[in-house]
């Protein structure tokens, strides 16, 4: 288990750094050709930590855990693109939506009804919120929050949106104070929504499996309890 967690963490760390570099050079018409820097390192570390957290925390069947890792890979690529190019391309959003919709009937942690409510309610909430914000909410953010709502259910997605909004507010204030952006500058919301979704996924006792199941597995691995069987 430890070996798998380390391997996944390393793979996602490399993916995070590679995604940040790719967003800086492709597509050519959007490329800034920016050199590797702190953002490269931070995205690599964050992606690696998220991958490690999902594998370590999950007590779901391996296929469900694999779906969450596929989703995380797409979210890492979307984050890098939004940070660099201020857009969430359909080349990445469409596969995310397909995976989210296809996973609804098979998600062991979120009922079909909760998933549908999560998708519809998150779209409605963010859409209405965008109407009251200068510049509104980007269409890509609506696609993103809808897919995440299907994956996390209505409770998980509202926690994710709250955390994302809080992180975005703190980051915006810090950038304003440091005069790196102005009052009219556009700050992408996608990366903060992704961060909120990952935090919501990792903190919830049920989205990645019961905390009791996790404790039992730890005890089984240490020999205190007999091995678990599914």
pLDDT tens, position by position, 165-177: 999 999 999 998 9
pTM, two decimal places: 0.88
String of DSSP letters for 128-145: HHHHTSTT---HHHHHHH
Which DSSP string do the residues of 98-122 spell out, in sequence order? HHHHHHGGG-SSS-HHHHHHHHHHH
What CA–CA distance (Å, rounded) separates 193 from 199? 10
pLDDT in tens, 49-105: 999 999 999 999 999 999 999 999 999 999 999 999 999 999 999 999 999 999 999
Maximum pairwise Cα distance, the chain: 60
Q: Is the dihedral of CA 37, 43, 129, 177 positive or negative?
A: negative
Residue 14 phi, psi (nearest 5): -65, -40
């Amino acid at each position: 288990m430890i070996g798998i967690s380390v391997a996944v963490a390393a793979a996602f760390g490399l993916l995070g750094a590679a995604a940040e570099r790719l967003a800086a050079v492709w597509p050519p018409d959007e490329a800034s050709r920016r050199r590797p820097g702190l953002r490269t390192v931070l995205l690599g570390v964050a992606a690696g930590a998220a991958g490690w957290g999902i594998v370590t925390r999950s007590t779901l069947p391996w296929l469900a855990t694999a779906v969450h890792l596929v989703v995380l890979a797409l979210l890492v690529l979307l984050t890098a693109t939004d940070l660099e190019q201020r857009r969430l391309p359909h080349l990445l959003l469409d596969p995310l939506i397909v995976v989210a919709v296809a996973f609804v009937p098979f998600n062991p942690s979120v009922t079909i009804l909760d998933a549908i409510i999560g998708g519809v309610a998150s779209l409605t909430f963010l859409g209405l919120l965008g109407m009251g914000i200068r510049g509104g909410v980007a269409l890509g953010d609506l696609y993103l929050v809808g897919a995440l709502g299907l994956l996390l259910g209505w409770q998980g997605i509202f926690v994710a949106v709250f955390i994302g909004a809080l992180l975005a507010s703190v980051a915006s204030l810090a950038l304003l104070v440091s005069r790196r952006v102005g009052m009219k500058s556009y700050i992408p919301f996608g990366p903060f929504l992704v961060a909120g979704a990952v935090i919501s996924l990792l903190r919830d006792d049920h989205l990645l499996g019961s905390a009791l199941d996790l404790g039992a597995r730890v005890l089984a691995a240490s020999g205190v309890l007999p091995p678990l069987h599914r």
